[in-house]
Structure formats: structure tokens, C-alpha cells
């Protein structure tokens, strides 16, 4: 590109100077005055001082111009033109051959001409359980860390909304929260929690410290009312009533979730019986 540009500049300069002065000029003077071979700062602003005037020469500040922009060779592939003569190699039948179903039309995806397709030849493996539940895990160690940091008040009821607001769990709660026993040794004071599921180790650790864990049920709408009650206010709707658990989950929960988010725990059935027995004995 540079060689072609220099050649065009030299030839144009010689032609313009010869037309202006009607006398030949040396190549060395043209090269010395070229903007590509000599810095523009060293050239006098008066073109007459060089003995000639550039009329048709274009001064470039860079070796690259907009009209020289090109793609790399092979960067753009031309579209195959079918049915445009036998010389193209894709004329007449356009690469489809003679007659037959594949030459005349299209078939549905996976059709193999009538034989058993691959998707039916391969056996089925596994299944997807439509009743599976997905719970977000949260450990007791993380809850103890947030309590020590002052983000959670251990004197109040810790609900799933509390865990979401402080960042203990993610924003997307599909079917609830499962309380895990990781970091159970850090629980040294009584805390009260309401979650969807709880492991045996976590429940034993909380109850050993004098606290309680209650398994509550919320459906999809109930979780929205629990975690985002402002959504119903924005829509001008009332907060819905808590739904009952389905028959398959009745033995896995202790009670129905309360709406809006509660702040005080309610005693479990066996705690109520013990309190009644203590009252009757006294």
C-alpha cells in the first residue's frame, strides 16, 4: 500500500509541476518534499520556496485512509448462487440430484426415510419427578455470624424473610429454606426460627441451646406475600390467606405459615401440652 501510494504521489507531483513550469524536475526534490517521507513540521508553509506549487497532491496525515479499508482475505464468504447455469456447479438441480423426496421437498426434523429414527432407537433413561422440591440450604454457623455482626436480632423470631433481607439466602426461593447443622457449635444462645425443613442435627443443636425450630408451609403465592408484601400494596390487592399443605406434606410440616411475616414465635404442640400440664399440676 505504501509503495503504491508513494508512486502515485511522485507521478502526480511531477505532472503538476511540469504543467506549471513547463520544465522537468528531479525526482530527489519530489521525494524530499513528500509528506510521507518528510515530517510536515520541517516543510515551509510557503510552497513557492521549493520552486513549485502542489496543486493536485493530497496531503495525508496517516498511511491509512478510509478508502483503503478492506476485510482480510476470506473474511466474507459469498453466498452460493444456485440454479444459475451448469458452469457454476450448482445449476439445474442445484445440488439436489434427480428425483426423489429429498429433491422435491423438505421433511420434518429427524425423519430418516421411514426407518425407525434415532430418537426411538435409543432407550429411555431416568425420569423427572414432578413432585420434587428444591430448598435453599442455610447453616447455623452463618446465622450465628450474622447475629454476632448485629444484622439479626436473636431476641425476635427469625423467619425466611429475615434470612433473605440480611443476605443469608439467595433471592430466588423456589420451595423454601432448609436449616442445616453446619456450624452448630457456634449457637450458644436460644434462637427461634421458622423454616420449611430442618435437619436432625440442626434441630438438636437449637433445642439444646434453649431455642426452637418450626417447620411451616407456604405455597408459591404465600412465599410472595411473605417475602414481598409491598408487591400486593402496589397492585392494590389484599395479602392472601396462608394455604394448607398438600396431603403428601402434612407429616413434614408443623403448621401453616403465617402472613404477613410474624415477629413472635408460637409454641409447638408438645410445648403447649407441657405448659398445660404444668398449670394443672400447680
Q: Tell which residue, 33, 70, 37, has the closest CA to residue 53.
A: 33
Q: Which pLDDT score is estimated for 51?
A: 44
Q: Tell which residue, 195, 167, 165, 190, has the closest CA to residue 180.
A: 195
Here the contacts of 261-264 (C-beta below 8 Å, separation 24 or greater) are 261/159, 261/161, 261/162, 261/226, 261/229, 262/157, 262/159, 262/194, 263/156, 263/157, 264/156, 264/157
Residues of the chain with pLDDT under 50: 17, 21-25, 38-54
Q: Which pLDDT score is estimated for 50?
A: 45
Query: 210, 191 in Cβ contact below 8 A?
Result: no
Q: Which pLDDT score is estimated for 172?
A: 81
Tell me the sheet residues that pair with 54: none
Q: Which residue has the cell 511540469?
A: 18
Q: Average per-residue pLDDT in the chain?
A: 81
Hey, is 212 helix, strand or coil?
Answer: strand
Query: 71, 77 in Cβ contact below 8 A?
Result: no
Query: 266, 255 in Cβ contact below 8 A?
Result: yes
Q: Which pLDDT score is estimated for 39?
A: 46
Hey, is 37 helix, strand or coil?
Answer: coil
Sign for the CA dihedral angle at 46, 51, 53, 54 comes to negative
Amino acid at each position: 500500500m505504501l509503495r503504491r501510494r508513494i508512486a502515485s504521489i511522485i507521478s502526480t507531483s511531477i505532472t503538476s509541476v511540469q504543467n506549471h513550469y513547463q520544465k522537468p524536475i528531479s525526482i530527489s526534490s519530489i521525494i524530499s518534499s513528500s509528506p510521507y517521507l518528510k515530517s510536515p513540521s520541517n516543510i515551509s508553509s510557503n510552497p513557492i520556496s521549493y520552486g513549485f506549487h502542489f496543486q493536485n497532491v493530497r496531503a495525508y496525515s496517516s498511511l491509512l485512509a478510509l478508502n483503503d479499508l478492506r476485510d482480510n482475505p476470506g473474511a466474507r464468504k459469498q453466498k452460493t448462487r444456485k440454479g444459475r447455469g451448469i458452469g457454476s456447479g450448482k445449476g439445474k438441480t442445484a445440488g439436489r440430484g434427480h428425483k426423489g423426496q429429498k429433491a422435491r421437498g423438505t421433511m420434518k426434523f429427524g425423519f430418516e426415510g421411514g426407518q425407525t429414527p434415532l430418537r426411538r432407537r435409543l432407550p429411555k433413561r431416568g425420569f423427572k419427578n414432578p413432585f420434587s422440591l428444591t430448598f435453599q440450604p442455610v447453616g447455623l454457623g452463618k446465622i450465628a455470624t450474622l447475629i454476632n455482626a448485629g444484622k439479626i436480632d436473636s431476641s425476635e423470631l427469625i423467619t425466611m424473610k429475615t434470612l433473605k433481607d440480611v443476605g443469608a439466602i439467595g433471592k430466588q426461593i423456589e420451595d423454601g429454606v432448609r436449616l442445616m447443622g453446619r456450624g452448630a457449635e457456634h449457637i450458644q444462645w436460644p434462637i427461634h426460627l421458622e423454616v420449611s425443613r430442618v435437619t436432625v442435627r440442626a434441630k438438636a443443636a437449637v433445642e439444646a441451646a434453649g431455642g426452637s425450630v418450626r417447620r411451616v408451609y407456604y405455597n408459591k403465592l404465600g412465599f410472595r406475600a411473605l417475602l414481598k408484601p409491598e408487591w400486593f400494596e402496589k397492585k392494590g390487592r389484599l395479602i392472601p390467606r396462608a394455604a394448607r399443605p398438600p396431603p403428601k406434606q402434612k407429616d413434614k410440616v408443623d403448621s401453616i405459615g403465617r402472613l404477613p411475616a410474624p415477629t413472635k414465635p408460637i409454641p409447638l404442640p408438645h410445648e403447649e401440652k407441657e405448659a398445660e400440664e404444668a398449670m394443672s399440676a400447680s
